[in-house]
Amino acid sequence: MNRVFTYLAVLMIILITATGCQKDPPLQFPYELSLPPHFPEPEIPEENQLTESRVALGKKLFYDPVLSLDSTISCATCHPQATGFADDLMISTGIQGRMGFRNVPTLTNVAYHPYFFREGGNPSLEGQVLGPICSFDEFGFNARELADRLSGDTLYDAMAMDAYKRPMDLYVITRAIAAFERTLISGNAPYDQFILGDSTALSPIAQQGMNLFFSERTACATCHEGFDFSNYAFENIGLYETYQDLGRFRITLDSADIGKIKVPTLRNVALTAPYMHDGSLPSLEAVIDHFDTGGVQHPNQSSDVKPLHLSQTEKDALLAFLQSLTDEEFIHNPNFSK
Ligand code: HEC
Ligand code: HEC
């Protein structure tokens, strides 16, 4: 009887630790997020509070090509810091040059997103990590084999014990990378310095662009609103009459959602060309022209995207404003570098 009980108890412990519901060990060395004064606190899951050791482990994993099947690419290959954690390709390429089907989004301020991917198909940053690992056209790997590959590594095992009190496994890989990603906070662009009181931080033309951006006339800020320039809603902006990538429809199967894409942040946007979910617009000038002409009038198109009849000076002003969202400190911050 006792043996059965012990067996059951052991089984319970394995199950509980494997699903990650165990009581969190006391946090050593909490990681202090350095938040700009006008940013809210991001929501961080109770079971994955930030600590120095978790973030350090996540950063090491983020930059380690060992995560891909043939050990050739890492998360940072497609999400490099110098271009705001997005790449400069139209469509991403994974191992062996395999083509993905979407443009790489920036990871700037990803801690604040309520869901991930362009159609919002993934509810958590921890869960999202499995996406690239298992995607054929990204790391082309298998989560269990990856965990096996890393669990023999003494340095990783030691870091995992330190961070999560368990050896290297999938639980640790997904939690640690998510922890690192949550530290990628950007809010010190010239625009921020301006709204925090430095009236010299924006040129007069960028200020004119800012006023246009926040005006009812352009309605840019109805979707690109708040400190992160996104309401995270799904919108069709009339890029195509027929969308190849069906966007939000892929999740809901509701035809009213065809062509709806999660509103992207505009922070560091000058660094992340080309633009849109498929990288089809090569420059910010082309994006401004798109919004100026008002799109192709797709049936699902938002009524906030309509012909604007901007003058050339107004287009230049909007461009100068978008360029003022580049945060040099963020892309050079050694805490985020390899
Ligand atoms: C081969 C290129 C490639 C690699 C490697 C890659 N990503 Fe991505 N990533 C993408 C693309 C493309 C998307 C957009 C996918 C979509 O919307 O369906 C994306 C989306 C994301 C998102 C969602 C962002 C948002 O706005 O919703 C996160 C977070 C992310 N990647 C993190 C990672 C992490 C962490 C790794 C490493 C484990 C990684 N990526 C590896 C190309 C890549
Ligand atoms: C109805 C909501 C909405 C309005 C209004 C809107 N946008 Fe957007 N914007 C989006 C969505 C959604 C995308 C992504 C579309 C895609 O990927 O296909 C986007 C993409 C962009 C991009 C490209 C970002 C990237 O990383 O690819 C820029 C730049 C941009 N918008 C600027 C503006 C400006 C400037 C205005 C005003 C003239 C504006 N937007 C008005 C919803 C909107």
Same domain? 140 vs 194: no
**Would residue 13 count as lying in a domain?**
no
Q: The CATH number of the domain where 92 resides is what?
A: 1.10.760.10
Final residue before a domain boundary, out of 185, 213, 241: 185
Please tell me if the CB atom of residue 235 comes closer than 6 angstroms to any atom of ligand 2. Answer: yes
The Å distance, Cα 149 to ligand 2 centre, comes to: 41
Distances 149 to 14, 19, 69, 120, 142 between C-alpha atoms, Å: 21, 20, 10, 30, 11
List, for residues 167-194, the tens digit of each pLDDT value.
999 999 999 999 999 999 999 999 999 9
Please tell me if the CB atom of residue 102 comes closer than 6 angstroms to any atom of ligand 1. Answer: yes
By CB atoms closer than 10 A (0-12, 13-18, 19+), residue 269 is buried
Same domain? 113 vs 199: no
Please tell me if the CB atom of residue 73 comes closer than 6 angstroms to any atom of ligand 1. Answer: yes
235/219 Cα distance (integer angstroms)? 13
Average pLDDT of the segment spanning 37-41: 97
- pLDDT at residue 13 is higher than 70: no
Q: Which residue has the higher pLDDT, 145 or 26?
A: 145
Give 152's pLDDT tier (boundaries 50, 70, 90): confident
The Å distance, Cα 57 to ligand 2 centre, comes to: 34
Same domain? 235 vs 269: yes
Mutation test residue for ligand 2: of 234, 266, 285, the one with most atoms within 8 Å of CB: 266
The Å distance, Cα 132 to ligand 1 centre, comes to: 6
- Residue minimizing CA distance to atom 5 of ligand 1: 75
The pLDDT of residue 163: 97
Same domain? 204 vs 219: yes
The Å distance, Cα 292 to ligand 2 centre, comes to: 12
The pLDDT of residue 224: 98
Encoded amino acid at 329, one letter? E
For the CA of 101, the closest atom of ligand 1 is 12
List, for residues 218-271, the tens digit of each pLDDT value.
999 999 999 999 999 999 999 999 999 999 999 999 999 999 999 999 999 999
The Å distance, Cα 32 to ligand 1 centre, comes to: 25
Q: CB 5: neighbour CB atoms within 10 A?
A: 9
The pLDDT of residue 20: 43
pTM (2 d.p.): 0.92
Q: Name the strand (E) or helix (H) holding 261.
A: strand 261-262
The sign of the CA dihedral 53, 55, 59, 61 is positive
Please tell me if the CB atom of residue 129 comes closer than 6 angstroms to any atom of ligand 1. Answer: yes
SS3 string, 169-228, reads CHHHHHHHHHHHHHCCCCCCCHHHHHHCCCCCCCCHHHHHHHHHHCCCCCCHHHHCCCCC
Please tell me if the CB atom of residue 237 comes closer than 6 angstroms to any atom of ligand 2. Answer: yes
Same domain? 209 vs 96: no
Same domain? 197 vs 170: no
Final residue before a domain boundary, out of 133, 160, 185: 185
Please tell me if the CB atom of residue 319 comes closer than 6 angstroms to any atom of ligand 2. Answer: no
Residue 119 DSSP label:
T
For the CA of 259, the closest atom of ligand 2 is 18
CA angle in degrees (0–180, nearest 5) for 219-278-80: 95
Q: Which residue has the higher pLDDT, 52 or 101?
A: 52
**Would residue 15 count as lying in a domain?**
no
Q: State which residues form the domain around 198.
A: 190-332
The Å distance, Cα 40 to ligand 2 centre, comes to: 23
The Å distance, Cα 232 to ligand 2 centre, comes to: 11
Same domain? 178 vs 35: yes
Average pLDDT of the segment spanning 94-104: 90
Give 63's pLDDT tier (boundaries 50, 70, 90): very high
Q: 121-130, 188-197, 272-281, 298-307: lowest mean pLDDT where?
A: 121-130
Give 17's pLDDT tier (boundaries 50, 70, 90): very low
* Torsion (CA) 225, 230, 233, 234 in degrees, nearest 10: 120
Number of domains in the chain: 2
Give 27's pLDDT tier (boundaries 50, 70, 90): low
Same domain? 128 vs 228: no
Average pLDDT of the segment spanning 282-290: 98
Same domain? 149 vs 257: no
The torsion angles phi and psi of 92, rounded to 5 degrees, stand at -70, 150
Structure tokens, 115:
């869901």
Same domain? 69 vs 198: no
Please tell me if the CB atom of residue 80 comes closer than 6 angstroms to any atom of ligand 1. Answer: no
For the CA of 106, the closest atom of ligand 2 is 26
- Residue minimizing CA distance to atom 41 of ligand 1: 75
- pLDDT at residue 318 is higher than 50: yes
